[in-house]
Structures are given as structure tokens and as C-alpha cells.
């Protein structure tokens, strides 16, 4: 199984490898910005990178609205595409991998990470940044970072956070759809 990306992704000419976390996050943010400009989904992007070679294994963008599928978040798309490229449901089986995501994973994506074999997650914007524009990120344990670390998954936060927040703001100012928004009377907390 694989998920097709919008045709514009090929036009971005991403490099085959990244140098470091900031370099990888810059590329993920370029994907998120392009996704916003193209109107092909929400303001989120993700990449799976092979740690030993720094090779980009896969990229993903949010495709919820264009594909009419609630689970096609950027992280899920990147994981599906990485599994397809690596011919394995366990991404760690072919070498430790890092998931770069332009925003903290929602409850669904956070749940998928341990089963994917990802051993490291690098994050741009924080949960509160995403919630502040109206998205419902679901019920997540307060100690989710500690929980992932307890499973052997390292979590690095706030990599180019300001730039990641700008993508969220561009999405809202451009009239982007806030699907599954938090109801105004909701008592949901993080």
C-alpha cells in the first residue's frame, strides 16, 4: 500500500540527504508551505530520514481535505510511504529512523509512532501552537514525551518553532479550512 503525493511535491526538488535536524526541518517546512499554497491539505508536513545515511526515505503532507480521509495526516503519510519504500512495517529493521514533523503529533499520529519503528521524533511547532489556530489535536497524555522516551523513542522539540508557527498562521490568514475544530464550548485540555 502507498499514498500518492500531490504532483507539486516532485517540483520542489528536495535533496536526497539532509545535514542535520535544522536542515531537515527546513525541508519539511518547505513542504508544509507548498501544501498551504497549493491548497492540497492542512499546514503540516513530515519526513522520515534514515539516521545512518541521513537519506530522506519519504515525505508526507497533510491530505485530509483533498483525499477526503481523516487519517491522512502528514506523519501517517510519511510513515506509510517510508514503509512502502523500505518494504517493511518496522522502519527500525532497516536502520534507526527519525520522523521530522512540522508540528507535534496529534493523538492519532502519536499512537502510530511506536508501531512504525521510528526511534526519534523531531518537532517544529508545539501542540498549543496548533490548538491556538483552532485544530483539535485530540486527548493526549500530559507526559506523552516521557511515554515515548520510555519506549526508546527520543523526542526533540522546538526545532525552527517560529518558522513552523508562521506556516500555521499563513494557513489561517489564507482562509485554510480548520477541519475537526475544537468546539467553542469544549473543555478539552492538554
With b for 16 or more beta-carbon neighbours within 10 A and e for fewer, the 86-95 pattern comes to beeeebbebe
CB 66 within 8 A of CB 131: no
Sign of CA dihedral 107, 111, 112, 118: positive
CB 137 within 8 A of CB 127: yes
Q: Which of 67, 75, 163, 169 is catalytic?
A: 75
Q: Which whole-number Å values give the CA distances from 183 to 60, 134, 180, 186, 188, in the listed order?
A: 28, 9, 9, 5, 9
75 catalytic per annotation: yes
Rounded CA gap, 68 and 182, in Å? 19
Q: Which of the 8 DSSP states describes residue 78?
A: H
Q: Which residues are catalytic?
A: 75
Amino acid at each position: 500500500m502507498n499514498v500518492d503525493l500531490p504532483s507539486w511535491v516532485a517540483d520542489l526538488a528536495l535533496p536526497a540527504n539532509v545535514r542535520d535536524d535544522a536542515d531537515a526541518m527546513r525541508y519539511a517546512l518547505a513542504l508544509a508551505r507548498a501544501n498551504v499554497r497549493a491548497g492540497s491539505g492542512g499546514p503540516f508536513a513530515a519526513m522520515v530520514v534514515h539516521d545512518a545515511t541521513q537519506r530522506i526515505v519519504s515525505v508526507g503532507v497533510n491530505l485530509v481535505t483533498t483525499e477526503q480521509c481523516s487519517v491522512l495526516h502528514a506523519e501517517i503519510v510519511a510513515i506509510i510511504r517510508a514503509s512502502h519504500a523500505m518494504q517493511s512495517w518496522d522502519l527500525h529493521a532497516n536502520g534507526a529512523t527519525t520522523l521530522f514533523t512540522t508540528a507535534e503529533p496529534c493523538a492519532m499520529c502519536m499512537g502510530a509512532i511506536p508501531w512504525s519503528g521510528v526511534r526519534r521524533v523531531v518537532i517544529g511547532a508545539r501542540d498549543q501552537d496548533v490548538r491556538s489556530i483552532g485544530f483539535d489535536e485530540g486527548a493526549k497524555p500530559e507526559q506523552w514525551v516521557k511515554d515515548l522516551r520510555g519506549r526508546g523513542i527520543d523526542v526533540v522539540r522546538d526545532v525552527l518553532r517560529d518558522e513552523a508557527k508562521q506556516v500555521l498562521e499563513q494557513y489561517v490568514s489564507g482562509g485554510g479550512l480548520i477541519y475537526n475544530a475544537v468546539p467553542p464550548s469544549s473543555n478539552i485540555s492538554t
